[in-house]
């Protein structure tokens, strides 16, 4: 296909961006009192209140979005959506279909290689439902007959970040009698601090690894197994461990009854797998009915993405704005700033979802993309971040974009809190947009008797820092499901626009290969050889 950089739509966007190069956001607002109305979009999901996506503080004009929509057409995003939904192997480097949307599908057949996967999906969901009800009711008990009070999920990457983030996000919906914990890091401090204070008789472990060979996960699993069997004996493993895996032989060798293994499939990428049995710890935390509401919200966002035109399509608009900021106005980072403590792990989750998917420079034809792809993502919940890094956002001299996420209603409604939270959120996006001139700073000082006028230069804020604000009605399972699906479809769209395979992750493999070769050298079972002098020196320092 013609590289998108060579299309008329791209050239048109370049000319448009050049014309906006020296325009300040405060001037755009001053010249157009209807700017907010013209550059904000509302979405009304079928089972919830409307969402608001405000793009008016982005460095665009009302003419920008139709120009960018030309890129959607040039890249044939609708055609790629059809390929994905048809089960074609659009993960071309691994020869796999990409059908995480099938995990929350509620219609007819979804086929991969001629096989309808929906009966398999429904069977796993039914097994998850039955297991959750057995644990919650006390029917599932530990080896000594005690009920389960604590669940420890052991996984890493996509087997950890999604359910961990969602479990924290939906804290207001937790069932009170069951605590869910997460262990990912191979650093023993991660597992040890979780196990401290837990009762082996009342603890259930979920080992989440598709192949049951992931190094970090299996080391943590073996250590957890030792912790349990030291007190309860080997026979207790079957009542205190379940698996999310397809490697049933390895599951059985570990001591887990294969009837307690929950399957998922190679057409589900790890970072898109929350909706599968990978979401089992979340379902245990919130109850299966709430988990079904999460699936319903995601399904509603799927329908929106598949059918809405690009200028009314929330995932499309987020993708087009990201591409605009990265490739046309050269912004290299994006701060994700949820004004919700419950969404505190969302920036970390999006780092994996977006940066692992789109942190690439080789396109589907094996050639360089030819332009920057995804910016670096980072962030922290407000208002905490205001007392950490916002100084740099306002006066650090680095151009970047921000993404504010807020809810109209609090999930933990304490009097006086939520109004202050929203005031800070809206104030920060306004300040980043508007800035403060030297004249305004001077006038501000002269209005205060005895104020030192020499401070005026220190109170200048350049402004013109673009931001998006996404205002949600509330944070509940349905809304969170739609929010996660929103970002999944944004990733898909950017992959198409940049002509990337967004569903492989070869960059992750190289470090693993080197780690596997270094391990015997660090353990002392093989000599230090064929490594650079720095690595050799570090190994020697650890062994001395």
Residues annotated as catalytic (active site), given as ranges: 356, 387, 512
> How distant, in Å, are the alpha carbons of 34, 157, 282 from that of 278?
45, 11, 9
Give the residue carrying structure tokens 């200048």.
460
If you ran DSSP here, which 8-state letter would residue 107 be given? Answer: S
d(CA 310, CA 67): 11
Choose among 489, 421, 461, 358: nearest CA to 43: 489
- Report the SS3 class of residue 362: strand
d(CA 53, CA 289): 28
> How distant, in Å, are the alpha carbons of 163, 225, 316, 449 from that of 305?
23, 44, 8, 57
CB atoms < 10 A from the CB of 307, how many?
Answer: 10
Q: Are 349 and 163 in contact (CB under 8 A)?
A: no
d(CA 60, CA 25): 8
**How many Å separate Cα 127 from the centre of its chain?**
26
Do you find a cis peptide bond into 164, omega within 30 degrees of 0? no
- Encoding tokens for residue 52? 């608001």
- Encoding tokens for residue 508? 């992750």
Q: Are 73 and 6 in contact (CB under 8 A)?
A: no
**How many Å separate Cα 184 from the centre of its chain?**
16
d(CA 342, CA 175): 16
Q: Are 40 and 32 in contact (CB under 8 A)?
A: no
Q: How far is it between the farthest Cα atoms of the chain?
A: 80
Residues contacting 115, CB < 8 A, separation 6+: none
d(CA 29, CA 10): 26
Q: Are 338 and 384 in contact (CB under 8 A)?
A: no
Strand partners, 42: 52
Helix (H) or strand (E) holding 53: strand 51-54
Q: Are 274 and 291 in contact (CB under 8 A)?
A: no
d(CA 454, CA 175): 57
Counting Cβ atoms within 10 Å, is residue 525 exposed (0-12), middle (13-18) or buried (19+)?
exposed
């Amino acid at each position: 296909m013609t590289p998108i950089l060579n299309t008329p739509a791209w050239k048109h966007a370049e000319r448009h961006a050049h014309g906006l190069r020296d325009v300040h956001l405060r001037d755009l607002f001053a010249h157009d009192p209807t700017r907010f109305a013209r550059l904000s979009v509302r979405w009304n999901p079928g089972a919830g209140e409307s969402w608001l996506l405000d793009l008016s503080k982005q460095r665009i004009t009302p003419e920008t979005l139709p120009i960018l929509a030309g890129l959607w057409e040039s890249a044939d995003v609708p055609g790629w959506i059809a390929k994905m939904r048809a089960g074609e192997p659009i993960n071309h480097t691994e020869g796999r279909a990409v059908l995480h949307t099938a995990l929350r599908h509620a219609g007819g057949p979804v086929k991969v290689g001629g096989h309808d996967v929906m009966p398999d999906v429904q069977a796993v969901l039914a097994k998850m439902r039955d297991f959750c009800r057995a644990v919650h009711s006390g029917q599932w008990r530990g080896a000594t007959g005690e009920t389960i009070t604590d669940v420890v999920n052991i996984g890493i990457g996509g087997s950890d970040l999604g359910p961990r983030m969602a479990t924290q996000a939906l804290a207001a919906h937790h069932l009170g009698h069951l605590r869910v914990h997460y262990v990912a890091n191979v650093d023993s401090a991660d597992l040890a601090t979780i196990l401290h204070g837990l009762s082996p008789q009342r603890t259930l472990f979920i080992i989440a690894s598709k192949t049951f060979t992931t190094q970090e996960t299996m080391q943590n699993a073996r250590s957890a197994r030792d912790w349990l069997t030291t007190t309860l004996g080997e026979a207790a493993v079957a009542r205190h461990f379940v698996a999310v895996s397809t490697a049933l032989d390895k599951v059985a060798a570990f001591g887990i009854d294969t009837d307690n293994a929950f399957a998922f499939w190679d057409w589900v990428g790890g970072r898109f797998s929350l909706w599968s049995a990978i979401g089992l710890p979340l379902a245990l935390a919130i109850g299966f009915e709430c988990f079904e509401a999460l699936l319903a919200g995601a399904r509603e966002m799927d329908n929106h993405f598949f059918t809405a035109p690009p200028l009314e399509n929330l995932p499309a608009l987020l993708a087009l704005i990201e591409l605009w900021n990265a490739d046309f106005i050269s912004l290299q980072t994006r701060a994700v700033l949820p004004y919700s403590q419950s969404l505190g792990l969302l920036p970390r989750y999006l780092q994996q979802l977006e940066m692992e998917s789109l942190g690439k420079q080789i396109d589907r034809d094996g050639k360089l993309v030819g332009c920057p792809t995804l910016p670096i993502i980072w962030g922290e919940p407000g208002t905490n971040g205001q007392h950490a890094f916002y100084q740099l956002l306002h006066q650090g001299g680095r151009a970047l974009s921000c993404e504010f996420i807020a809810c109209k209603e609090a999930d933990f409604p304490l009097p006086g809190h939520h109004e202050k939270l929203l005031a800070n959120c809206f104030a920060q996006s306004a300040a980043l947009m508007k800035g403060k001139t030297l004249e305004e700073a001077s006038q501000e000082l002269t209005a205060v008797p005895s104020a030192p006028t020499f401070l005026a230069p220190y109170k200048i804020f350049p402004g013109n820092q673009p931001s998006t604000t996404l205002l949600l009605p509330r944070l509940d399972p349905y809304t969170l499901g739609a929010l996660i699906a929103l970002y999944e479809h944004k990733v898909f769209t950017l992959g198409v626009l940049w002509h990337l395979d967004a569903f492989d992750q070869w960059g992750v493999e190289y470090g693993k290969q080197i780690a596997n070769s270094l391990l015997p050298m660090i353990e002392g079972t093989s000599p230090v050889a064929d490594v650079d002098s720095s690595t050799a020196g570090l190994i020697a320092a650890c062994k001395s």
